[in-house]
Amino acid sequence: MMIATPALAQGGGGKAPKPAAEPLKGVSAADVNSIYPAVVPADPAETWVLDLSTGGRVLIRLRPDAAPKMVERIKTLTRRHFYDGLSFHRVVDDPYYMAQGGDPKGDGTGDSDLPNVPAEFNNLPHTRGTVAAARRGAPDNATPAQKADAENSANSQFYIMMMPKLAFDHDYTVFGRVVGGMEWVDKIQRGEPPANPTRIVHAYIQSDNPPPYSNLPAAAPKALPPGEVKATLPQ
């Protein structure tokens, strides 16, 4: 079953308005700050880190305020190393301008072993750099039950918008946005599927103190002596 990225499915980034160069008559500093809020520093606990095989580290600010269930799913799978080694299996230039990944099968039909995540459609727009959950598409003339099933079919797959596509708004769960390394997203290999797909070499949550960027797979763990059990971090 194919996963849909908006209407198939996809998203990106805009610029914040600049405050006026001259103070506004009759407007206090507090009022100006409410109109043009200061940029809030990213929270490492809500920052998803993707190291790509074609070069560079991508930082994605997660939005648990807008999509708490999907953000929790991303964190859980990342800490399981689920995304390590997975490819961007569908990278479309026209008309969607998006890169889709997160499928363990690498063909758009796979998911994790966890249950699907209910839809968390929200008001975050599909602008350049938007990151959202891919899901199945409903058939033409779908019944309400078929439509609901498709809307609630997000699992592990996601897409990153390279260009805006606001027609996708409110139909897909937007859960984050690229805040660093968008130039590396632009270099992801194109194709459906790409001949030589870009892979996520490692995925991390920034608060877990990832090592410096590397585009090489991690070395295989050393064998433990008989009877020795390896400790694991809580998920």
pLDDT over 90 at 216, yes or no: no
Are the C-beta atoms of residues 120 and 82 closer than 8 Å to each other? no
Asked whether residue 13 is assigned to any structural domain, the reply reads: no
Asked whether residue 131 is assigned to any structural domain, the reply reads: yes
Q: Is 61 helix (H, G, I), strand (E, B) or coil?
A: strand
pLDDT category at 63 given cuts 50, 70, 90 is: very high
Please tell me the total count of domains within the chain. Answer: 1
Strands (E), 63-173: 88-92, 98-101, 130-133, 135-136, 158-161
pLDDT at 214: 87
pLDDT over 80 at 8, yes or no: no
Asked whether residue 226 is assigned to any structural domain, the reply reads: no
pLDDT tens profile 188-200: 999 999 999 999 9
pLDDT tens profile 90-141: 999 877 799 999 999 999 999 999 999 999 999 999 999 999 999 998 888 9
Domain that holds residue 164: 41-208
pLDDT at 206: 97
Asked whether residue 117 is assigned to any structural domain, the reply reads: yes
Asked whether residue 130 is assigned to any structural domain, the reply reads: yes
Q: Is 176 helix (H, G, I), strand (E, B) or coil?
A: strand
In this prediction the pTM is 0.77
- Taking the C-alpha atoms of residue 135 and residue 121, their distance in angstroms, rounded to an integer, is 12
Domain of 88, CATH number, reads 2.40.100.10
pLDDT category at 38 given cuts 50, 70, 90 is: very low
Asked whether residue 129 is assigned to any structural domain, the reply reads: yes
Asked whether residue 34 is assigned to any structural domain, the reply reads: no
Backbone φ and ψ for 131, nearest 5 degrees, come out as -120, 130
pLDDT over 70 at 32, yes or no: no
* Average pLDDT of the chain to the nearest whole number: 82
C-alpha dihedral (64, 68, 74, 79), degrees to nearest 10 = 80
